[in-house]
Amino acid sequence: MRIGHTLPLGLFAIVAVALGVGLTLDPRLIPSALIGDPIPDFSLPPVDGRPDGLAAADLRTGEVAIVNVFASWCGPCRIEHPLLMEVARRGAVPVHGINYKDLPRNALAWLERYGDPYRRVGSDRTGRVSIDWGVYGVPETFVVDRRGRIAYKHVGPMMPEDMHQRILPLVRELQGG
């Protein structure tokens, strides 16, 4: 019985430590797996009702590209969305989307509401392709270089400084080289 009664305290201690560690972390910081690796082979159908799907071949055309993983049920995706719209409007670099575990009608409605910055969107209903990309959750954003390798990865919603101070300069650098 004694152990049973101390169990809640033990569990809380674990939660408290995790919360404490959590305070020291930035939920938007970047881990760097897969950087420099070639993109996986994949082919995704379009979101029903939207024209173009996304496949590995579309990213091996010798063009630098941004690939954004999103879902309509993902709150933080809404935060970064205006940034993607802005990049798409300028047209300096193509933005593609992978729609992660989403219902097509929800995805379409979402794009209609917040705007559609994507040149191509692949619908990853099961999330299998996203696993190959090393996606932990949504949103995540990749920069793919001219040779079809992952040059950069951002986890979580992008803030203006992420886009303007890291991603876009990197894109320009890759486009120049």
Partner 1 sequence: MIVEVGHYALILALALSIIQGVLPLIGAQLGYDSWVAVARPVAIIQFGFVSISFAALTCAYVGSDFSVLNVAMNSHSAKPLLYKVSGVWGNHEGSLLLWVLILTLFAATVAVFGGNLPPDLRARVLSVQALIGAGFLLFMLLASNPFERLVPAPLEGQGLNPLLQDPGLAFHPPFLYLGYVGFSMAFSFAVAALIEGRVDAAWARWVRPWTLAAWCFLTLGIALGSWWAYYELGWGGFWFWDPVENASLMPWLAGTALLHTALVVEKRDALKSWTILLAILTFSLSLLGTFLVRSGVLTSVHAFATDPARGVFILMFLVLVVGGSLTLFAIRAPGLKSGGLFAPVSREGALILNNLLLTTACATVLLGTLYPLFLDALTGEKVSVGPPYFHATFVPLMAPAIVAAGIGPLLAWKRGDLVGALGRLRAALAVTVAVALATLVFAAEAPVLAVSGVALGTWLVAASLGDFVERIRLFRGPFGETRRRAKHLPRAAYGVTIAHAGAGIAVLGIVVSATWESERLQVVKVGDSVPVGGYEFTFRGIQDARGANYNAVRGIFDVTRGGDPVAVMTPETRVYDTPRQTTTEAAIRPTPTADLYAVIGDPNGAGGWATRLYHKPLVHWIWFGAILMAVGGFVSLSDRRHRVGAPRRRTARVGTRAGTSQAAKA
> Which residue in 23, 90, 161, 177 binds partner 1 (CB under 8 A)?
23
Burial classification of residue 1, based on how many CB atoms lie within 10 Å of its CB (0-12 exposed, 13-18 middle, 19 or more buried): exposed
Q: Give me the least distance between CB of 170 and partner 1, in Å please.
A: 20
Let me know: does 98 contact 121? Beta carbons within 8 Å. yes
Could you give the string, one character per residue 36-65, with x where binding to partner 1 holds by CB under 8 A and - elsewhere?
------------------------------
> Which residue in 60, 101, 125, 164 binds partner 1 (CB under 8 A)?
101
* H or E stretch at 80: helix 75-90
> Which residue in 38, 45, 60, 73 binds partner 1 (CB under 8 A)?
73
Strand partners, 144: 65, 150
Region binding partner 1 by CB under 8 A among candidate stretches 10-18, 39-47, 54-62, 91-99: 10-18
Sorted by sequence, the CB contacts under 8 Å of residue 100 that are 6+ apart come out as 69, 70, 71, 74, 124, 127, 130, 135, 138
Region binding partner 1 by CB under 8 A among candidate stretches 11-19, 58-66, 86-94, 163-171: 11-19
Distance, CA of 53 to CA of 46 (rounded, Å): 4
161 binds partner 1 (CB under 8 A): no
108 binds partner 1 (CB under 8 A): yes
Distance, CA of 54 to CA of 49 (rounded, Å): 14
Strand partners, 141: 68, 154
27: tokens are: 């939920």
Region binding partner 1 by CB under 8 A among candidate stretches 8-16, 50-58, 91-99, 116-124: 8-16
| Residues making contact with partner 1 (CB under 8 A) | 1-2, 5-6, 8-9, 12-13, 15-23, 25, 27-29, 31, 71, 73-76, 78-79, 101, 105, 108-109, 112-113, 136-139, 155-157
